[in-house]
Amino acid sequence: MEAKEDKYTDIDVTKIYEYADLPDKISVRCDYCGSVKFKSSVGGGKFLRECTSCGMKKNI
Dist. CA 32–CA 14, nearest whole Å: 12
Contact 25/31 with Cβ under 8 angstroms?
Answer: yes
Report how many domains make up the chain.
1
**Chain centroid offset of residue 58 CA:** 4
Longest dimension (CA), the chain: 34
| Structural domain of 36 | 2-59
- Note the pLDDT tens digit of each residue in 13-52: 999 999 999 999 999 999 999 999 999 999 889 999 999 9
Dist. CA 37–CA 17, nearest whole Å: 17
Structure pTM?
Answer: 0.84
Residue type, 42: V
